[in-house]
Each structure stands twice: as structure tokens, then as C-alpha cells.
Amino acid sequence: MRGQWAEPPCQRVRRRQAACRGCHIVDETTARLGEFVASKDTRLACAAAVVLASLAPRDPIVVRQLVAALEIADNLRRPFIIEALGRIGTAEAAAALVPLIKTEGPASELALRALAHTASAALKPLLKLVGNVPPALLERIAECAARTGETAAFQGLFAGLVEAPVETCRALRSGLRTAMSSFDDASKERLRKQLVQALRDKVLVTHQPSLIALMKIAGDLGDPALQGELPGYISDRHPSQVRRAALLAIAMLHLSGEQRARLAGRLLPLLFDQDVADIAEPALEALRQAQLGTEHQAQFRKLLNSPSSRIREFAMQTLALQGTSRTIQELTACLDSPDRSMREEALAALSRAPLAAGPLCERLLELEGGEVALETARALAPQAARIPPRVLEKLADQYVALAVATSPLLLSGAG
């Protein structure tokens, strides 16, 4: 039923006619602005391009006017025209900007920035440039394409890894890594799905540079769901460079302490590998923050003699936190090592071990002074509240005796 405030038919027709006239006026205005962009008056041309960039009319006529003006534009008006085409963002506008990228000059940088506004409209022409431009420019193209967050973008970029040289693989990975900073959850999930498919593609994983790039991208993304795709590459069936990339990627995944602990059975043996730089220490990074139980103590005791100071320190810290009497004794024995770095690592570990207060205090009482005693006292200081009363009394008596023996005032008072 029509309400009493319903719009009369004649008034509704007049309103629609006015709206149509308004659209016609807007079309005429934008077309006129498009003509001004090609004006001989540079100031007028730049001002018209700025207005068009603000309005962003998706009018094919205006786009063609801007493209024609771009072909003859001087250095002053070219940036404004490029920005206007980027803001309009149609496929025709994007297609006009893509060729500028290959120039590798100031126009190339401006075109890349403008294409960031076009989203998916520029995706296809951008992906056609993959493999056909220098690595430095390819990195920017990969970033621009990846920022769309679309599945097609990730598929196209991963396709560019096939049989690609090392420099190309590095550029694609760097561009993706930069683009990830702006990803929402949906974009990250699309990238994860494409990564899983790529890591299962025999063509990609049999080409070492592309495989390493994919694993680095997986680490950059950090999705815990990727942990099932990486451990297979840490075995000695693969080259050391591949194993290193897999281990570092696992280290970058956002895994909980419990999740990392489940990998301990595969990672701990790698800490004994003779290739410290490429295998042992990357395995250490993958194992950090793991919530490890006492079942691994035997392996950690052996690691106290590792040639890597980082691995020794990790083993000592882990044993100290587990805090059994045996581990404390073994760490205390490390204090007699002639290697100063090993002594410092053991003291650092003992200073955090709740059960180390008594043994450290006993050791301090046995020392006659000097640098070793000072190091031991510093390690004991954080554990002072945990010193057993009986040992604390002995320490106090020793301190008083030492003070009396060395203080002139106390000596004169005693006399």
C-alpha cells in the first residue's frame, strides 16, 4: 500500500532525469580534463592529471587520453599522468604502465608505485615480465604482484622459479618477503596453500635454487602448518645447502615449545654433525625454545664437548634448567676446564640453576682467591637466597676471617 509520503511518479521521473544529466555532466568534465592533460600549458596539464587521479574515473575515453598524453609527456608532467593511470586502475591503464617498468629509469619506479593501486588489473601483464627483467627490477615486480594477495599471483611467481638461475630465485623470494608485511590472514592462507603445492612439485624441488627459495619463503611466512613439508629435507640424502635452508626455515616457523620438542628426535642428532656451520648450528636454531624433557640428558652431556660454543652453551643451559644433581656435578666439573670460554658458559648456566647454589658455594670456599674465585662469586650471586644454611655459615665465617686478616683497622682493634 502506498504511504502518504510516497514520492509522486512525476517527481520520481524528474529526479532520474536530473541524475542522468548529472552523469552526463561528469562524463563531459572528465573528458575535458583528459584533453587538458595534453595541453601545451604544463601547469594546466599537471593540474588536470592531479584532479583525474583524485576522481579516478574508469572511463575508457579518459584512459586513452592519458595514455596518448603519456607518450609525449615531458619529465615534469609524466609523474602526474602515471599516478592518474595507477589510480584509475583499469586493465587498459595498467597495460599502459607495464612497458615503462622495463625502462629501469625514474619512470620505472613511478610505474611500479602506481601499479600498486591497480591491484589485480595489472597482475597478468606484471607476471609476463617475470624472467624477462634484471633481478633488481624483478624483486620490485614480485613485490607488486604479491601485494595483490591473489592465488594467481603466487602461482605465477612460483612458476618463475622453474629452472631459474640463483639470482632470479633470490629476487622472487625477496619480493615476496617484502610484500608479506601487508598480507591479511586470507592472503597468508592462499600463499600457504600455494607453497604446499610448490613444495610437492617435482619440477621445482629437483631444482636446488628453486627449492631453497621455496623453503626460505616458507620460513618468512612462518605458518606452523608448513612444518610437515620441511623435515624431509634435513636428512643426509640432500646437499648441505638444502639441509641448511630447511633447518633455518623450521627455526623461523611459529611453533610452540611442545611442537618443537616433537622434532627433537630428528634435530638433536644433527647437533653432532661435523659440518658445524651448515648443519649443526642451523639445527640448534631449529631446536631453540623447545620444551625438552630429561630423556635427552645423555645426548646433552655429550654435547658439553661440542666444538661449537653456541651448542655447548645450549647444552649447559638445558642441563641446568633440568636441574638434577648429576647435571649440576657435570657442569661444575666444566669449571676446571683450561678453556676460558667453556668456564664462562658453565658459570652462566649454573647461575640459572636452582640446585647450583650449594655446589657453587662449596667451590668458592675451596678457592684461594684470584680471577676464578671472582667468576664463581659472580655466578653465585643470583642464587644467594638458595644457599643452604650450613654452607652459608661456613661462607660467613670464611668472609669474617678474611676480613680480619686483611683489614688494618680490625687488626689494630684485635691488638
Q: What is the dihedral of CA 377, 379, 383, 385, to 10 degrees?
A: 20
220 touches 252 (CB < 8 A): yes
15 pLDDT higher than 70: no
> What pLDDT does 409 receive?
52
Least confident of 111-125, 345-359, 399-413: 399-413
Q: Cβ neighbours of residue 92 under 8 Å, at least 6 residues apart?
A: 60, 63, 64, 67
Structural domains of the chain ordered from first start: 16-125 (1.25.10.10), 293-415 (1.25.10.10)
Q: How many CB atoms lie within 10 A of CB 2?
A: 6
171 touches 136 (CB < 8 A): yes
4 pLDDT higher than 70: no
> What pLDDT does 112 receive?
80
Looking at every residue in the chain, the average pLDDT score rounds to 83
How much of the chain is in helix, strand and coil states, percent to nearest 5? 75, 0, 25
Mean pLDDT (whole number) for 338-365: 75
Give the whole-number percent of the chain exceeding pLDDT 70. Answer: 87
Determine the Cα–Cα distance for residues 292 and 279; give it in Å rounded to an integer. 20
What band does 210 get if pLDDT is binned at 50, 70 and 90?
very high
Q: Which three cell numbers stand for residue 100?
A: 615503462
Write the pLDDT tens digit of every residue in 270-317.
999 999 999 999 999 999 989 888 888 889 889 988 999 899 888 888
* Per-residue burial over 102-117, b = 16 or more CB atoms within 10 Å of its CB, e = otherwise: eeeeebbbbbbbbbeb
More confident residue, 339 or 203: 203
The type of residue at 127 is: L
Determine the Cα–Cα distance for residues 193 and 153; give it in Å rounded to an integer. 13
The type of residue at 172 is: L
Determine the Cα–Cα distance for residues 396 and 286; give it in Å rounded to an integer. 45
DSSP states of 110-126 = HHHHHHTTTGGGGHHHH
Three-state SS for 282?
A: helix
84 touches 73 (CB < 8 A): no
Determine the Cα–Cα distance for residues 375 and 160; give it in Å rounded to an integer. 57
Determine the Cα–Cα distance for residues 239 and 241; give it in Å rounded to an integer. 5
Q: Cβ neighbours of residue 143 under 8 Å, at least 6 residues apart?
A: 175, 176, 178, 179
Write the pLDDT tens digit of every residue in 82-92.
888 888 888 88
Q: Which three cell numbers stand for residue 81?
A: 599522468
Report the range out of 39-43, 264-268, 331-335 with the highest average pLDDT: 264-268
- E strands, 67-209, are none
More confident residue, 58 or 80: 80
6 pLDDT higher than 90: no
Least confident of 147-161, 173-187, 195-209, 286-300: 286-300
